[in-house]
Structure 1
Amino acid sequence: MARSMLVDSLWVLGTRFVQRAANLVVLFFLARALSLAEFGYYGYAVATLLMLSVAFDVGLRQVVAQEIGRPEADMAAVVRDTFLLWMALGLAMTCVMAGVMRLGAPPVEGAAALPAILAALAALPTLLVRMGQGVLLGQGRVKELNASELAGRAALLGGTALLWSLGRLDLAAALGLLLASSLLSAVVLGAQVCPKRPPETPFRAAPMLPWLRRGLAFLTGTLAMIMLGRVGVWVLGGVLSAEELGLYVGAMRLAEMLAEVATAVGIVIFSHGVRQADRKAAVADAVRTARVVTAVMALAAFVGAVCAGPLLALVLGPAYAAAAPAFRVCLIGAVAACQGLMLYPCLSAQGKPWLGAFAFVPATLLAALLAWWLGARYGLMGAAWAFALAQIAAALGFLLLYRLRFGLPVWTSLLPQPEDFAGLARFVPRAKSV
């Protein structure tokens, strides 16, 4: 593993653990302030916001990173063009988000239109953050990328704790805080990427079309990757009761915090990949990183499974302790998800994002089918197994892809090797001397 990648990965892991801790505290307050049905509505809104931000980004985050990574790039022009594209795509996403929340969100007794409006308004800053991150990724500014996200999480945590202590934390307030935290992240990121000098290249609309065409190649795999973990929520919204959906969202979101660490490391893998000329070395670094992080997440999942009941009761409240068996199953899926979340960015960085679709698309279709079938037959446990089995299918798909594309044995890609520990041992003395 390259030393710079290891340093960035450790930095991202550290900041992501801070973010996950903040999320745990936010979930702690929300689960106690909202009913199960309201918590399910909140989870539906967050899942929809994430999916639509990926869809309306149309792969431009990766395209912008590639453009910025070119030695001859005019950064100011790239930032300008990214902002103009965001204005058009953001308005469209806001309209779609409003329609989805109006027509597809699970019904909540007594809920007015305000929660749906707040969720729709969060579309603009959420999309800006996603697209703007491409600039930082292309420059390798991973620490600054995490700083913008930490600012939003800090605001969300502080606001949630304050409103809960005042007894004012309801569904509308929770979604209002989500909007405010997204706005803060967008402002911080905007300050980070704002160029210090005007563009040297005059504006022309023509180059945007190739950007969009290239972005579509990234979109299919990335959208399927996001939908793999979220499609079950939409399908189960028509299969489970509102209370069961709330239990499932709570168990799944808590388990997915492991996979979100892998998502963060995947960002590092992509950022290094777009700037690394030796593709063979980039693949080797990505595989080493993925198997080590997956092993660490498996250990964390084991601890979580042993403490499932008390952990759910502590974080989400006593009502969620009944979801402990489902939570254990979701942990299996979360560990499996780590593979795809780290191996796919390596393919994207090498200009082969469409390869990821061969693993993600079938797994996403499987997730929808299993959620509909197992959720209807077995309720909450069926929903958890649908999530886990689909994630396992995606992981196996990526291991097979790397076997066929790069000739890497499945077990070598999956299990930590002696060289991984040797590399860490060599890094420790150098880290102490810095």
Structure 2
Amino acid sequence: MNIDTITEVNSKTLPRLNLGKNLVYVGAGEQTESIVFWLELQASRAKSYLADENNVTSVPQHAGYLGVIHPTTVGQDAWQTYRIDAPADITRITYGGRFYNRVAKSHIDLRYSVDGGKTWTQSWTISDIAEPYDVIHYETVAMPAGVRSVLLKYVMNSPAAGPSACSIYAVRMEADHAPVDASFRPMEVSFEWSEMQKDRSLKKRHHTQLVEKIPATYSIDVGGDDHPVMESMSVGLVGSHPASYGYSDGIDVGGEKFVGSWVTYGTNRAVGKSYAVSVPSETNWDAGDPDGKKLTDGVVGPPYSGGVSYQTGALWSAGKNPVITVDLGASIGCASFGLNIHGYELKDALKGEVADVIEVLVSDNGTDFTSAGFLRTDMRWKDLPVNHMWTDEETMCGFTARLIPPKPVSAHFVRFRTETKRFLCVTEIEVLDAIGFEPFDLRVALPDK
């Protein structure tokens, strides 16, 4: 029998490889198997799973805003008891549900027994009648050695009748037990990825490792010009992966472990300073800068393009090629020059899609300008500091494009000369007096380290 389980998980929670050398750890962790009861309570459909029941009414249909089982007779205990039998020692139980307790002197209890019901231990009770009348609660209890059967009891008592007084919406029980077969069998671990080349083309590769004992560690080397695009990671018994072991192309590209960087920004000396633009901003999508202050107000635009994003800056259509000149008030050492930009059509810098060209020129007298270089708009994942806040989609459509010279450049006036290939929105001018990058190894600490 084969059982295929598909679980949709956020990509950021999944294993991934970096450019260079990657250390892979294979371990089994705590070995447990589980038995779960998650029952439908309406219309008495849980009766076949009950070990015992007393004084309980089950409504024909779940109303949604009230519990579905409740005491039949007021002032008397009402309960449902479930029995879980395991093929090996039970190590812990987790049980609870969703509860409705509204009337004074009502209560709902969670109890368990490991001796067939001779004695009971109460794990939790709710007698609080404060709003909202909707409490989700679970208890986890470690079991003594040798227990293979446990009774789980849900008890209700109320001086008033009906689901609007004291009731239970839903119950869920789980018993973790030692594995029936704890022996280890060799397994295969396979990673598949695409390596980003200098021209941004992708080269597919995969690596399959035979793991004959655990814990185990091994290395996977990833080539290319940037972090890879992950395709899959799979684990199976021997024979589950048809390819041979090792790299799909038989080549170990080598390389050192990738270590990211932590960036520290100095002061933006352009904030509050005056500037001039050679072409007035257009007003599409509520964009515009009529007061000539928006680009040095200290507020950058969003990391996305579209919607209200254009309201945050000045906007020029393709071919308008505005020149923006900011007066810093005095000559200072400039460690980094930048413009926060986005536009229409939406272009992703991490895919090399931004075609706008922005040259930086500097001057100490406002007349004679010298080129310092061009803002970088062709970005790679490996260049992003670990403290850069990514979008959920891992795109870079609204960002600060920077030129970081080898050493600070003196400037009183800074000019940004643009070639706009689309609607370009500039939201902020940035001239930093300092910027620093320090190695920062953002990693998962392995269990054996």
TM-score normalised to structure 1 length: 0.18
- Would you tell me which structure has more strand in proportion to its own residues? 2
Q: Which has the higher helix share?
A: 1
| Larger Cα-atom Rg | 2
Structure 2 length as normaliser, TM-score?
0.18
